[in-house]
Structure 1
Amino acid sequence: MLTSTVCAAVSAAGLAIAALTAYRKRFLAATRIAAFSLIPLGLVLTGVIDWLTDIVFKPSVWAGFGVLALSAVLFTIGRVVERRRGIGSRKERKAAAAARSGVVAPAASVPSLGAGHGAAQPAAKAKGKDKGKDKSAGGAPKDDFSDIEAILKKHGI
């Protein structure tokens, strides 16, 4: 009851200010003030104010909010402990994925490794053999591009 009276008084004061603003020929501002001043009265008439006061002044509602807060805290603590122990960590997931991938098709990539692996070995041998010869006075060795050349030859470029 008290909240309804306060809201009605706030609306009346807002409408009085809107009337004074309109008297000063600031009609757009007066319209905005009148619109804002009617909001508390509308909330009282729809029952929203009574609903809000029931929420604020009931101890059972506050107990419910306390239980929800406790639930959120427990959930957060559980997640923190789970991360510290490493349960479900990336390492475990990668190990499980590696174990599964080996069982499904262990020889699936052998042909692709065989062709590329053979082309990379001569490049590595040439790199080790010519390491001392190809260095210029202060530059990098000339065989730095041999790996790239081997890849391009492998792909027919």
Structure 2
Amino acid sequence: MLSSTVCTVVSVAGLGIAALTAYRKRFLAATRIAAISLLPVGLAMTGVIDWLTGVVFKPVVWAGFGVLALSIVLFMIARAAERHSLKAGGSRKERRAAARQRGPEAVAPTASAPSLGAGARAAQPAAPPKGRSKGAAPQEDFSDIEAILKKHGI
């Protein structure tokens, strides 16, 4: 009952302000103010205000809001953990995509070593030259590539 009275008083005050605005020849603004000022009395007449006051003053409703907030917090924590795991090692889906980009792995990588000729040496890790320091960049050996190009007449 009290909430309906408050809503009516607020609506009457809003309509008074709308009348003063219309008196100043600002009809568009007066129409907006009148539309907004009629909302509280309309909500009171439909019973929404009584429902809202019933919701606000019930402890069970506030406990429900607490449970909803906890649910949102847990969801955010799960998302943050998922992003962290993606940065650290990636998901199974990302690992599969990376494997597809690398291409199929050889079942027996040394099985075709005799047919490669000079390329067979590239399959074994080369030892760094003894005269070089650790900071120097290793030279690339293009002899196997040259052999393949010569074989095909290029």
TM-score normalised according to structure 2 size: 0.54
Q: Which letter maps to 2:8?
A: A
Residue 90 of structure 1 corresponds to: 90
Contact 1:11 1:38 in 2 (8 A): yes
1:122 matched residue in structure 2: 146
Tell me which protein shows more helix as a share of its residues. Answer: 1
**What code does the residue aligned with 2:70 have?**
L
- Give deviations 1:105-150, integer Å, cap 9, x for gaps: x9xxxxxxxxxxxxx9239989xxxxxxxxxxxxxxxxxxxxxxxx
- What does the per-residue CA deviation read over 1:67-114, in whole Å, with 9 as the maximum and x for residues that have no partner? 12222223333444455566x942654544539x748xx9xxxxxxxx
Aligned to 2:51: 51
Matched, 1:20 2:20: yes
Change (3 A) 1:89 1:18: same
Alignment of 1:71-150 (within 5 A): 71-81=71-81, 84=84, 89-90=89-90, 92-96=92-96, 98=99, 102=104, 121-122=145-146
> Equivalent residue of 1:90, what SS?
coil
- Determine the structure 2 residue equivalent to 1:40: 40
Gaps spanning 5+ residues in structure 2: where?
109-143
1:114 corresponds to: none
Alpha-carbon spacing, 1:123–1:35, altered in 2? closer, same or farther (3 Å): farther
Percent identical: 62
Task: Measure the CA separation in 1 of the matches of 2:26 and 2:95.
Answer: 73
**2:38 partner SS:** helix
Q: State the SS of the aligned residue for 2:71.
A: helix
Amino acid at match of 2:90: R
Query: Which residue of the partner structure matches residue 134 of structure 1?
Result: none
Divergent runs of 4+, >6 A: 123-126
Provide the aligned C-alpha RMSD in A.
Answer: 4.1
Q: What letter matches 2:146 in structure 1?
A: P
CA contact (8 A) 1:83 1:89 kept: no
Matched-pair contact (CA < 8 Å) for 1:11–1:37: yes
